[in-house]
């Protein structure tokens, strides 16, 4: 039962991470124009993402435009696109395998526990790989933004700040890593308990043994006093 709870918790966390990752991938909120200098009135705010950029004006109008050419984009942006899409596809495959291998489902019948446990472990590894793959473009983009922000050779209008999508992307990566780890730990082969459950069983057996030894010692003392 303990492993089933770990499986369900891992699947739920990983599913939330996948949804957040999809939102981050589509949102044009990776970079935002920085307010550098003594200007107090900013007429326009530029938001940039992997697939489009948006221009927000003080009048409330927002204009979004997708990038005209993929090959004209910087190499890092193209790599970030590939890694985020690859991560989402890995998550989709892991969700299918994780649901099929969960103990609370009957997708493969109740007589294939070994195969279901193997599918659960594979799904956990895929979630972990997807989380690591998602961290690369998020951390790389954050590093480039911070580096350019403090570079005195870059003009102030070209400086950017961290967008809200990056923070959500970090959260999505953590959810994928934690969910994948829980799913992997909660899918042991049949007859093998998880580490936490095994620790509880060992502690319980030691406490029971200590209690029986203490009762035996008290019985010997009472018998000696009676004699």
Tens digit of each residue's pLDDT (9 = 90 or more) over 4-48: 788 889 999 999 999 999 999 999 999 998 776 555 445 678 899
Instruction: Kindly state the DSSP code that residue 109 receives in the 8-state scheme.
Output: -
CATH classification of 2-192, choosing from 3.30.70.890, 3.30.420.40, 1.20.140.150, 3.40.190.10?
1.20.140.150
Q: Residue 187 has what pLDDT?
A: 80
Q: Residue 203 has what pLDDT?
A: 46
CA 226 to chain centre: 66
Tell me which residues of the chain have a pLDDT lower than 70. Answer: 1-2, 36-43, 107-111, 190-227
Q: Residue 197 has what pLDDT?
A: 45
Other C-beta atoms lying within 10 Å of the C-beta of residue 164: 13
pTM value is 0.77
Q: Residue 196 has what pLDDT?
A: 46
Other C-beta atoms lying within 10 Å of the C-beta of residue 148: 15
- Helix residue ranges, H only, the chain: 2-26, 75-101, 113-149, 164-185, 195-226
CA 51, CA 226: separation in Å to the nearest integer?
88
CA 31, CA 42: separation in Å to the nearest integer?
17
Task: Pull the structure tokens for residue 27.
Answer: 């949102």
Which residues pair with residue 32 across a beta bridge?
A: 47, 161
Q: Residue 208 has what pLDDT?
A: 55
Q: Which long-range contacts (CB under 8 A, 24 or more apart) does 71-77 make?
A: 76/137, 76/140, 76/141, 76/144, 77/50
Q: Residue 213 has what pLDDT?
A: 53
Name residues whose C-beta falls within 8 Å of residue 117's C-beta, 6 or more positions apart in sequence: 101, 187, 188, 189, 190
Q: Residue 199 has what pLDDT?
A: 45
Q: Residue 165 has what pLDDT?
A: 93
Q: Residue 60 has what pLDDT?
A: 75
């Amino acid at each position: 039962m303990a492993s089933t709870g770990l499986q369900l918790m891992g699947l739920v966390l990983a599913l939330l991470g996948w949804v957040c990752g999809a939102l981050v991938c589509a949102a044009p909120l990776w970079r935002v124009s920085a307010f550098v200098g003594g200007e107090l009135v900013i007429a326009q705010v530029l938001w940039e993402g992997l697939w489009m950029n948006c221009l927000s004006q003080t009048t409330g109008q927002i204009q979004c435009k997708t990038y005209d050419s993929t090959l004209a984009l910087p190499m890092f942006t193209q790599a970030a696109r590939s890694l985020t899409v690859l991560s989402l596809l890995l998550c989709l495959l892991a969700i299918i395998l994780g649901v099929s291998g969960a103990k609370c489902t009957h997708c493969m019948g109740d007589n294939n526990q070994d195969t279901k446990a193997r599918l659960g472990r594979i799904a956990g590894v895929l979630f972990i790989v997807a989380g690591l793959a998602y961290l690369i473009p998020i951390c790389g983009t954050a590093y480039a933004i911070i580096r350019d922000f403090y570079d005195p050779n870059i003009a102030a209008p070209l400086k950017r700040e961290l967008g809200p999508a990056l923070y959500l992307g970090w959260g999505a990566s953590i959810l994928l890593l934690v969910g994948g780890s829980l799913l992997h730990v909660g899918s042991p082969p049949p007859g093998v308990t998880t580490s936490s459950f095994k620790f509880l069983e060992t502690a319980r057996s030691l406490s029971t043994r200590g209690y029986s030894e203490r009762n035996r010692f008290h019985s010997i003392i009472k018998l000696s006093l009676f004699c």
